[in-house]
Structure 1
């Protein structure tokens, strides 16, 4: 499941939207100082890594798909890339001061992810999780696309924005849990939007015939909207701290 994206690494790198600068500012303000080290879980081709570089700390990126990891290394040769999962990675003695997951928390084992993150952090260290929720500026267009996709796969499910806030809070492993959101609109042409759809995990999990039917249905709709669509991106950020003084 975690290597779904390698075949689309080039498209993923090209079309996935970046993150607002406010996210980096909020992480830095929360942590309070420049972290000595940042570990990013599921870094992909470096979309969030570019943002994290603003914090001025060395970054180790964990990426299980070797094709995504290769693109990440080519994009950002100044970061350290570990080709493997969070579960396979061994934290240094004493832990790390900051762990970040951008659109990756859902790929981790829900039974162990909070405990693993807690144990890998130094006391007082920061956990930062953030992700986009892809909505639509026009509710009529939103309903039309949702109806078309459910006609192909009635069981399609999507997580609510910020679901990981509840996940982290309910774990009881962290303190000072905070959340904030940043909203913005993104206008895409039909072709650009279809490229984005091709990078979604829910899309890539389906068989090729279902993928082609979904793309054809969405193309027809977006062309009918005038050849473009306005996405409403909600970026949710959750910050939490391992209890104890920062070591």
Structure 2
């Protein structure tokens, strides 16, 4: 499943929203000066867009060659490695920052904290951030949720603070904290349907289920005015290697 996004790499890069610059500044405020960076599960570079602004050496890990191709084209200054976090051998000079944007759940849950801790330089920072897709209008959230549950009633959301709780539970990190940011984005119906095609729960469905999902969303969005007002709830979990 971690490579399922490669099937829609260009669409993913076009339609997925990026991150507010406040996330970049919060990482800097927390960890101080940065010498080098490693990014896990970089995809097409939605998180990379923030990280390159530091102007420091950056290596990005992305196992899907189709996603990695988009990433390289966008950021020729970044060293892109087509590998998983679990297969990666960190350099002798360890990075000061390990960042992961909306991909922490793809890392092996039993080892991801220990691997990140071991890969960081002493005093280095772990920064895990990502969006939770909410809706500014309760009626939109209800209508869209009804469609998605009708197609797949087994889908459950992760606990609200699952990243923070997992980092804390590892017992490895010091100064663990979570920061939240909220931004609002208006999507036309057609663009929202394209966004839906890039989500992993949608992509793992059968073609018939995908068609029913898109048809149901098409009708639901028409029912509340033809556009979707997204509320992007961005979490940033920060931790330090002591």
TM-score (normalizing by structure 2): 0.98
Question: Could you tell which deviates more after superposition, 94-103 or 84-93?
Answer: 94-103
Deviations 1:157-176 (A, max 9, x none): 22244420111011111000
The 5 A counterparts of 1:9-24 are 9-24=9-24
Q: Distance in 1 between matches of 2:5 and 2:139?
A: 30
Q: Distance in 1 between matches of 2:77 and 2:210?
A: 36
Deviations 1:148-195 (A, max 9, x none): 111111101222444201110111110001111000111000000011
SS in 2 for 1:96: coil
Which ranges in structure 2 are unaligned for 5 or more consecutive residues?
A: none
2:27 paired residue number = 27
| Runs of 4 or more above 6 Å deviation | none
The 5 A counterparts of 1:205-220 are 205-220=204-219
SS in 2 for 1:68: helix
Q: Distance in 2 between matches of 1:41 and 1:195?
A: 25
Shift of 1:140: 1.7
CA contact (8 A) 1:162 1:237 kept: no
Q: Distance in 1 between matches of 2:39 and 2:206?
A: 30
For the aligned residue pairs, the C-alpha RMSD in angstroms reads 1.0
Q: Distance in 2 between matches of 1:161 and 1:60?
A: 29
Shift of 1:94: 4.8
Q: Distance in 2 between matches of 1:77 and 1:161?
A: 35
2:8 paired residue number = 8
The 5 A counterparts of 1:1-247 are 1-33=1-33, 35-243=34-242
SS in 2 for 1:217: helix
TM-score (normalizing by structure 1): 0.96
Q: Distance in 1 between matches of 2:215 and 2:157?
A: 21
SS in 1 for 2:232: strand
Q: Distance in 1 between matches of 2:110 and 2:234?
A: 25
Shift of 1:17: 0.3
Q: Distance in 2 between matches of 1:117 and 1:173?
A: 10
Deviations 1:99-149 (A, max 9, x none): 000000000111111011011111111000000000011112211211111
Question: Could you tell which deviates more after superposition, 158-167 or 104-113?
Answer: 158-167
Aligned length: 242
Deviations 1:191-241 (A, max 9, x none): 000111111111111111111111110111012211101010000000001
Shift of 1:2: 1.0
